[in-house]
Amino acid sequence: MNESFETYRPYLFAIAYRMLGSAMDAEDLVQETYLRYQTTPPETIRSLKAYLATIISRLCVDQLQLARHQREQYLGPWLPEPIVTTDVSELIRVEKRVDEYESISLAFLVILEQLQPLERAIFLLREVFDYDYAEIAAILDKNEAACRQSLSRAKKHLVDHRPRFSASPELQRQLLTSFFQAVDAGEMNALLDLLAQDVTFWLDGGGKVKGARTRPVSGDQAVARYFINHSGAFRATLPEGARMELAEANGQPALILRAGGRALAVVTIDVVAERIQTLRLVANPDKLTHV
């Protein structure tokens, strides 16, 4: 195969997006990787894939260090930037060991946020992208023993916190549709029938959405009341022609609110025992440019 940077561009984006949880930042670092590649003498590159993976991984670790501080200052809950995954198979089907739905889902990306930057990088390179310890040590300029220890810590954290969802895409679509219909009709009892008692609602408005909660809402009664009480005022702010559509975001069914070709919000859910356990709504306009 005649390799070039473009051969690996989707692969590099797949690494960077999982590392950062931001498509915008991932694209920036893929471009920075390209610029560094351009200034490297070709005869010094023994393996183009390994060289590019090294550059993007180190850039991501540095970016994560900065992002941790920025996200501490973020107004309200921070959620990863959603992306429509219907037509980006390269992003999903690169992994060997972690279920393809899980490794790209918003729920899993949220859990990865709790890892230290190096732990996150090592976990993803090993468990998703199937690098061995010697390769990971070379990529991140660490020794193999340290990489093994970091992976062990990361795995323990993920075992303790990883959500276990077994709902089919069909059930998720059904619950999303029923949820939207109940909210639109203002039917409190219908909403309660869809929600788990300990449901949690996360709204990421980034301080740019009027009336957005800065803390999560927990409990079926509180979540149902929130949507019933705010749905009328929310509809009044929507531009003419706004519509809700079922789509696929981060490998799972999602509701996307659009107006004039622009995404205004993305809603995804986690389901346990055929009820909605977690609701995530991303409305920060800066995070919807790829939707």
Q: Is the pLDDT of residue 94 over 70?
A: no
Centre a 10 Å sphere on the Cβ of residue 71 and count the other Cβ atoms it contains. 12
Q: Is the pLDDT of residue 231 over 90?
A: no
**Spatial CA neighbour of 259 closest among 281, 244, 249:** 244
129-183 pLDDT per residue, tens? 999 999 999 999 999 999 999 999 999 988 877 666 668 889 999 999 999 999 9
29-83 pLDDT per residue, tens? 999 999 999 999 999 999 999 999 999 999 999 999 988 878 888 888 999 999 9
Categorize the per-residue pLDDT at 96 as very low, low, confident or very high, splitting at 50, 70 and 90.
very low
pLDDT at residue number 97: 45
178-216 pLDDT per residue, tens? 999 999 899 999 999 999 999 999 999 988 877 777 899
- The two tokens of residue 170 are 């069909």
pLDDT at residue number 239: 81
pLDDT at residue number 26: 96
How far is the CA of 211 from the CAs of 106, 175, 206, 223, 234, in angstroms? 23, 25, 11, 15, 9
- Those residues whose C-beta lies under 8 Å from the C-beta of residue 230, and which sit 6 or more positions away, are 211
| 108: exposed, middle or buried (Cβ count in 10 Å: 0-12, 13-18, 19+) | buried
Whether the model pTM is above 0.75? yes
Which domains are present in the chain?
Answer: 5-161 (1.20.140.160), 169-287 (3.10.450.50)
R_g of the chain, CA atoms, integer Å: 20
234, amino acid identity: F
First to last CA, the chain: 33
What is the DSSP annotation of 207-252? T-STT--SS-EESHHHHHHHHHHHHHHHHHHSPTT-EEEEEEETTE
